[in-house]
Chains A and B, each alone.
Chain A
Amino acid sequence: MAFFSSSVEGDTTKIVDSLTQHNIVDTLHQAAQTTPHGEEKGNLFAELIHHVFDSREIELPFLGHLHLPHFYLFGTEIYLTKHIVFLLLAALLLMIILPIAAKQNAKNKIPKGFGNLIEIFIVFIRDEIVLPNMGKGGLPYLPYLLTTFFFILIMNLLGMIPYGASATGNISVTAGLALIAFIMIQFSAIKAQGLKHYLAHLTGGVHWGLWIIMVPIEFLGLFTKPLALCIRLFANMTAGHIAIVAILGLNFLFKSYAITPIPVVLAVGVSLLEIFVAFLQAYVFTMLTALFMGFGIQSAHHDEEHH
């Protein structure tokens, strides 16, 4: 994990220093270090792989690199990074787009146009994710799941536009999302079952002599679910971008223009796949959160039937 998090720092020499033990990235950055802004073909690959990871500058069309501001607060450096910028941009877009859709839908009796598009997603999440997995008791959690879905979707899609970056390709972002999911899963379980039942579930319903084995296992089980959510989203988004970089890198590997059509066609294909994956991962994250919340909510009903 150190490999991913240490690429946060922006300035190249710092990265090379901090990554000396990491061989792949090291060789790439050594290439970048010898001639700083890639005049040779080989160094362009190092420049390319840089775009996948977080950095302290963003690229803008026609303006080139823009260094992001940083300031000191109580001796700690606080700074914006590329992923934070796109995280905030996604949040802003969400706050602009969805109210527009809501207003449109309130105005028209029959939803049409953009409002209809958003409504398709919302109805899909309600009817295909929440109701089958959580039952009627899941409807109060629908706003949270919708927010998660649209936020992840927009963050994923922002990575597919030129000059964009997907904030979900950063493990800290996905860890934050998973932390919120963890809190919601536990909250919904405790609310539906009551604290006593919730704690009783941790024992797995076995004889008290086995509690010393069961309780740690069940307790760990609480954390593995959000951990898997976090790593899945991060790995899927990063893997897609690395795949595109690797395919475009074929150009630099072969050092010839004759090979160009093949990487371009492949990169277009992988990009299309990436757009699909952006939707799929948003769906999977939402569905699994709903499923895990559903376990807690429905085991409450299950207990009532049997006792």
Chain B
Amino acid sequence: MEANALAYLAAGIGAAIAVVGGALGIGKIASSAMESIGRQPEAGKQIQGAMLVPAVLIEGATIIALVICIILATK
């Protein structure tokens, strides 16, 4: 039981850390993208496109971490 409880705790903490990391990364991308659109509105479309790629990659890494947490919690 003790080990089970620790696994649940680990899954919860792991999910939280993964989300914090992903949110920080995506937030940083969004903030600098907004800033650059503000400076150069005519390049807005290009910046938006370029912003999506790293955001999606970070999202992928976060989701893989979350899936690992789900597996940990349901095993």
Chain A residues close to B by CB (< 8 Å): 1-3, 21-25, 128, 132, 228, 231-232, 235-236, 284, 287-288, 291
Extra 16 A-B pairs, beta carbons < 8 Å, given A23-B4, A228-B61, A287-B53: A1-B71, A3-B75, A23-B74, A24-B73, A25-B74, A228-B57, A228-B60, A232-B56, A232-B59, A232-B60, A232-B63, A235-B66, A236-B63, A284-B52, A284-B56, A288-B56
| B53 A291 Cβ-Cβ under 8 A | yes
Contacts A284-B56, A291-B53: A231 and B67 contacting too (C-beta < 8 A)?
yes
Number of B residues with CB within 8 Å of any CB on chain A: 18
Minimum CB–CB distance for A145 against chain B, Å: 16
**Chain A interface, >50% SS class:** helix
Rounded to whole angstroms, the CA-CA distance of A143 and B57 in the bound complex is 25
Contacts A231-B63, A235-B63: A22 and B53 contacting too (C-beta < 8 A)?
no
Q: Which residues of A contact B47 (CB under 8 A)?
A: none
Name the residue of chain B whose CB is nearest to the CB of A1. Answer: B71
Q: Which residues of B contact A132 (CB under 8 A)?
A: 49
Name the residue of chain A whose CB is nearest to the CB of B66. Answer: A235
* 10 sample A-B contacts, Cβ–Cβ < 8 Å, listed by A number: A1-B71, A2-B71, A3-B70, A3-B75, A22-B75, A231-B60, A235-B66, A236-B63, A284-B52, A291-B53
| B60 A3 Cβ-Cβ under 8 A | no
**Chain B interface, >50% SS class:** helix
Minimum CB–CB distance for B10 against chain A, Å: 14
Name the residue of chain A whose CB is nearest to the CB of B4. Answer: A23
Rounded to whole angstroms, the CA-CA distance of A22 and B75 in the bound complex is 5
List CB contacts (< 8 Å) of B30-75 with chain A: 49, 52-53, 56-57, 59-61, 63-64, 66-67, 70-71, 73-75
Rounded to whole angstroms, the CA-CA distance of A129 and B69 in the bound complex is 33
* 5 closest residue pairs by CB, A with B: A228-B60, A3-B74, A235-B63, A22-B74, A232-B60
Q: Which residues of A contact B53 (CB under 8 A)?
A: 287, 291
Rounded to whole angstroms, the CA-CA distance of A261 and B49 in the bound complex is 39
Q: Which residues of A contact B64 (CB under 8 A)?
A: 228, 231
| A24 B74 Cβ-Cβ under 8 A | yes
Rounded to whole angstroms, the CA-CA distance of A21 and B70 in the bound complex is 14
Q: Which residues of B contact A284 (CB under 8 A)?
A: 52, 56
Rounded to whole angstroms, the CA-CA distance of A231 and B75 in the bound complex is 19
Minimum CB–CB distance for A218 against chain B, Å: 18
Q: Which residues of A contact B71 (CB under 8 A)?
A: 1-3
